[in-house]
Amino acid sequence: MSLPSVTVIINNRDLLDWPRRMVERLERMPGVAEIVILDNGSTYRPLLAWYRTIAHRVEFLDNLGHMAPWTSGVLDTIGHDLYVVTDPDLDISMLPDDTIVHLAGLLQRHPQLGKIGLSLVTDGVPPASPYYQHVTQREHIGQTRTTGPEGLIAMPVDTTFAIHDRRVLREYRVGGMRTPAPYQARHEPWHVVTPEGDFAYYLDHVEGRSSSYRDFTRYVRSDSVRGLYLAYAQEAGRKVSTKWDSYLDVYEECFQPFKRHAVDLLEIGVQNGGSLEIWSRYFPYARSLTGCDINPRCGALKYDDARVRVIVGNANEPGAFQEILTRSPQGFDLIIDDGSHRTHDVISSFLSYFPLLKPGGIYIAEDMHCAYWEAYGGGVLNDRSAAAFFRRLMDTVNADHFREADAGSLFQAFVPREQMNGFLCANPILSVAAHDSMYIVRKASAARPRGLGREIIVGDVAIADDRVLATRDRMQQAA
């Protein structure tokens, strides 16, 4: 029997170790006449260096995702009609040498199946793997699976290692059947508990179309707030920080746009100093990270990073305020109030420090569950609580539309009306968001001031009310 000639197409992005081992195995497999790697815009340098050392064709594409073998046009350029498409994340080391010959024979005998792929070993997935449930409940090849001709398993194949004939199938299709043991591969990511190396890099650089598992795993970017907290927890001798789990994602959402900028950050209430250290890691380009704490013991906090400094004092007294201002006369991009959480302090701090926020900056008041507790001067029905203050602040976002009162009059329980009107005029608020125990106040930026902006009327057919067209015409004339 003559050997088939099969082209193997490996669709890759940013993975190195797994596809390298796969290529090494394929090079020793009879029937593999050609190996083509489709690279989907990888940036992982060791991978790009490896490509330069191999004797196989590498096609550098934009990130076309899992359908690249069918959408890139590569099928017109390969040397053989029989082709295998595979993801790069399979361990095929245990495959028998005649796998390609066997797959080619099966497809020849059962062309109606369209494609025939390897089944996947489901044993040995560690319970700590994020895939454990999925694999044990959905991927397991149990008694219930029906079989097809020659013992093939009636389990459709997607982009797992599968053979096709380009004269029959030239498009992405989930279908066909899978081979039983010993023609089985191991799906590597199922066995990973903590992504490292190229897999961690891959996950950090996933783009929407290319990942079948980013949302599926519990993987967190190592440079995210959560990732940094997790990593910090593993290090011995680190300063303590205490945060509620849900805060980490809110911080990520707020801070991410500032991550690569030369930010000035202020944290009121540093306690044992851990959070300030984590912020210094989160913002590699930060200009200054200033902490303030009333506790004199915080004077002993030492940081190797010269950008970090702790000022000891009551943030709501002129001495500490002045020192903070001197430390960062240009103002702050980000201010976190994690101080006493008492109503009086929370409001005083906001009124003192929000003016120091740069346009476009974010002010975060943390642990605001205290605003609902009497012991902290709060209560859900208490009109003088910090929660009531932030609720009124939320209303001021719509101050342009008030008819019967001005914004300052909302705050009479806290601040004289005129004073508050002056405050809001000098410190325009873009938005106020409430999360569980957190208020996020954004200052309007010069580039995107608050307000509705111009009215946009598009379209020219108005069957219900054509007055809008007259408005549009007036606006066009005025422009």
Ligand X SMILES: C[S@@+](CC[C@H](N)C(=O)[O-])C[C@H]1O[C@@H](n2cnc3c(N)ncnc32)[C@H](O)[C@@H]1O
What residue ranges bind ligand X (CB under 6 A)?
241-243, 267-271, 274-275, 292-295, 314-316, 338-340, 345
Nearer Cβ to ligand X (21/342): 342
Say if residues 56 and 23 touch (Cβ distance below 8 Å): yes
Token readout for 6 is 């099969």
Nearer Cβ to ligand X (4/274): 274
Nearer Cβ to ligand X (125/370): 370
**Alpha-carbon gap, residue 64 to 159, rounded angstroms:** 14
Nearer Cβ to ligand X (211/314): 314
User: Of 118, 145, 134, whose CA–CA distance to 190 is shortest?
Assistant: 134
Min dist CB 218 to ligand X, Å, is: 23
DSSP letter string, 146-162: -B-GGG-B---BSSSSE
Min dist CB 22 to ligand X, Å, is: 45
Rounded to 5 degrees, φ, ψ at 201 are -60, -45
Min dist CB 389 to ligand X, Å, is: 17
Nearer Cβ to ligand X (157/292): 292
Min dist CB 251 to ligand X, Å, is: 10
Min dist CB 247 to ligand X, Å, is: 9
Angle, CA 293 vertex, CA 288 and CA 294 arms, to 5°: 150
Nearer Cβ to ligand X (84/276): 276
Min dist CB 297 to ligand X, Å, is: 9
Angle, helices 386-396 vs 343-353, to 10°: value is 40
Min dist CB 262 to ligand X, Å, is: 22
User: Of 450, 407, 401, whose CA–CA distance to 430 is shortest?
Assistant: 450
Min dist CB 257 to ligand X, Å, is: 21
Nearer Cβ to ligand X (225/430): 225
**Alpha-carbon gap, residue 356 to 325, rounded angstroms:** 8
Give the residue at shortest CB distance from ligand X: 269
Angle, CA 407 vertex, CA 422 and CA 429 arms, to 5°: 70
Query: What number of other Cβ atoms are within 10 A of residue 196's Cβ?
Result: 11
Min dist CB 242 to ligand X, Å, is: 5
**Alpha-carbon gap, residue 278 to 116, rounded angstroms:** 50
Say if residues 100 and 183 touch (Cβ distance below 8 Å): no
Nearer Cβ to ligand X (152/312): 312
32-40 β-sheet, strand order: 57-61, 32-40, 6-12, 82-86, 162-165, 116-120, 177-187, 90-91
Nearer Cβ to ligand X (14/333): 333
Angle, CA 345 vertex, CA 344 and CA 346 arms, to 5°: 95
